Structure 1
Amino acid sequence: MTTTNIGEVAQLANQISAEMARVIEGKSRQIRTAVTVLLAGGHLLIEDVPGVGKTVLAKSLGRSIAGDVKRIQFTPDLLPADVTGVSVFNQSTREFEFKPGGIFANIVLGDEINRASPKTQSALLEAMAERQVSADGKTYHLNRPFMVIATQNPIEMEGTYPLPEAQRDRFMARIRMGYPAAESESKMLMAQATGDQLAKVNAVTTVNALSSATEALTEVYVAPVIADYIVSLVNATRQHTDLRLGASPRASLHLMQVSRVEAVLAGRDYVIPEDVQALAEEVFSHRVLTTVEAQVAGRRPEDIIRGVVSSTPAPTRG
């Protein structure tokens, strides 16, 4: 990747982040992670308690892109066909026609995804992994770029269905919003008093520019020692005594992809260990499952992943 391309991708990321920051106060890390996942071609899971800005973050990211953005409100009575689409009989042509569902967009906001039944949740599996939908023996390719941003509330369990491991593994990263600082919350109140802040978010890029940026990232060099380091981190989660399920091979690939974005945002066309470490917690923590003993002791996946990163030897520059 040339210096010009690095600068263009970094500038694109900064422009999107700046637009999102206009409506989200004091959440620069969450914004940066969302933009990183977008450029890396992945999907994002936003998990936290109600009212902390999960949907606002997802909407602001969608509005900053001049592409097709759709929202799917997941409810218990939502059907798989509502997500992927359905074939209907056309009386005039006497043929069945496929009517695309909400998944056919560049940015898909899946709000409260864990309120839908497991059957409906599984309708996303093929789309998220392969960027396509199969229906009635035909395959329909999704738009490029394609990103699912799903939100869920981990506290309220009544009327919800936990995401299965196969579904969670398809999300490149998970973030938690957290409560805002007092100063940021005051700024939010004053800003909302002047009207709808999301309306002020402008599109700063196109889907073609995003696609070009994503393709350019494949040229970022990943040395064999860096690939070995990523594998070492993944293996450490699989062997950890506090985890009954470690990170998957897909997690290795996702960590490499976000590491490339981190490198470009730092102005480099090669990945270093610090790039890998930057988002290891966000990439791994939602995929692993803790043991009963770890849960009783109050050890969270995030804490375990941080321990894995700090205890796994990183390659040194020779």
Structure 2
Amino acid sequence: MSGDVRAIENFVDKYKQLQLEIGKVIIGQEKVVNEILLSVFAGGHALLIGVPGLAKTLMVNTISQALGLDFKRIQFTPDLMPSDILGSEILDESRNFKFIKGPIFANIVLADEINRTPPKTQAALLEAMQEKIVTVAGKRYPLEQPYFVLATQNPIEQEGTYPLPEAQLDRFMFSIFLEYPSYEEEVNVVKSTTSTSKVTINALFNAQEIIDFQQLIRRIPVADNVVEYAVKLVGKTRPQGEFAPQLVKDYIDWGAGPRASQNLILAAKANAATKGKFSPDIEDVKAVANGILRHRIIKNYKAEAEGYSEEQIIKELL
């Protein structure tokens, strides 16, 4: 255990350095960067939702450089095929089939505008996200660890898009909203991006160190009352459940599943570790609840008509 105590202290130092390193390129957006990093260290995937031009791609690229991980970007389009993501078998010179790996074989995969592609291609990511394995022509190919999918979605244009199915949304640990920068932040962004200055990002980690920190976070003990609080909070989002308040019965069609409870605890552990705490408390669960529950609750038409947002519902549940 004393080794773990030292490891958490080491983790806090490295995490602060990581935030500073990312801050060289990404101005502001601390909460967004923090949630992406929490999902990385908790071993989950993240869905970034924001209008174009908020540096989503730059942010993911910068984070992967600072983490010292291999990064690939897939631009999702309506004509993208599963084989364009997974890879395909070709005949080589000696008339044997040879597998050419697709862009999904990287540590961090940026699935850009994931809702632009039909469900068949979206589903190609499902197995990779859940099992960390890809099956092509009946053969299974394991993906390199650590493995993360960071997907982006543009909330404005719904023309010609395919909403992500609930089963796929549930695979994302966090759903993260990007806001416009503040006036001061935007001034700094414009100054730094319209000059000749080049920033180099140093890799502070390697793949093995990230796997070690993920294992460390999983080993963090959690008190029973914290687990019970998380499970009860998720239970409150289910209109048919025993804990559902009237608000949920009125405004929600479907609540969050058990994966939400697991993710709440994992993310709370990661959040506690970044603060140097050796066990998460209820405050850590509350800190991550919004990003974890937001995309897992399905509002009904009454909530839409009355302008009730997922955030308002979660806020009242907390």
Any gaps of 5 or more consecutive residues in structure 1? 310-318
Q: CA deviation at 1:95?
A: 2.1
CA distance in structure 2 between the partners assigned to 1:258 and 1:23 by the alignment: 25
After superposition, residues 244-259 of structure 1 pair within 5 angstroms as 244-259=253-268
Q: CA deviation at 1:105?
A: 0.5
Give the equivalent residue in structure 2 for 1:234: 234
* In the alignment, structure 1 residue 292 sits paired with structure 2 residue 301: yes
Any gaps of 5 or more consecutive residues in structure 2? 240-247
In structure 2, do the counterparts of structure 1 residues 307 and 54 end up closer, same or farther at CA, with 3 Å as the change threshold? same
Q: How many corresponding residue pairs? A: 307
CA contact (8 A) 1:111 1:152 kept: yes
Give the equivalent residue in structure 2 for 1:316: none
Q: CA deviation at 1:26?
A: 1.8
Runs of 4+ in 1 over 6 A off after TM superposition: none
Task: Answer with 56-65 or 284-293: which moved more.
Answer: 56-65
Give the equivalent residue in structure 1 for 2:242: none
Q: CA deviation at 1:196?
A: 6.9
CA distance in structure 2 between the partners assigned to 1:9 and 1:133 by the alignment: 31
In structure 2, do the counterparts of structure 1 residues 195 and 146 end up closer, same or farther at CA, with 3 Å as the change threshold? farther
* In the alignment, structure 1 residue 18 sits paired with structure 2 residue 9: no
CA distance in structure 2 between the partners assigned to 1:11 and 1:119 by the alignment: 43
After superposition, residues 1-318 of structure 1 pair within 5 angstroms as 1=1, 2-92=4-94, 94-195=95-196, 199-239=199-239, 240-241=248-249, 242-309=251-318
Aligned to 1:72, what secondary structure does the other structure show?
strand
CA contact (8 A) 1:21 1:31 kept: no
Aligned to 1:133, what secondary structure does the other structure show?
strand
**TM-score normalised by the chain length of structure 2:** 0.93
Percentage of pairs with the same residue: 40
CA contact (8 A) 1:17 1:35 kept: no
CA contact (8 A) 1:47 1:154 kept: yes
Matched to 2:138, the amino acid is G
CA contact (8 A) 1:53 1:177 kept: no
CA distance in structure 2 between the partners assigned to 1:201 and 1:288 by the alignment: 38
Aligned to 2:100, what secondary structure does the other structure show?
strand
Aligned to 2:237, what secondary structure does the other structure show?
helix
Give the equivalent residue in structure 2 for 1:315: none
CA contact (8 A) 1:37 1:258 kept: yes
CA distance in structure 1 between the partners assigned to 2:197 and 2:267 by the alignment: 32
**TM-score normalised by the chain length of structure 1:** 0.93
Q: CA deviation at 1:67?
A: 2.1
Matched to 2:84, the amino acid is D
CA RMSD, Structure 1 to Structure 2 (Å): 1.3
1:239-279 deviation per Cα after TM superposition (whole angstroms, max 9, x unaligned): 32211111111111111111101111121221110111101
CA distance in structure 2 between the partners assigned to 1:209 and 1:184 by the alignment: 32
Aligned to 2:261, what secondary structure does the other structure show?
helix
Aligned to 2:140, what secondary structure does the other structure show?
strand
CA contact (8 A) 1:54 1:151 kept: yes
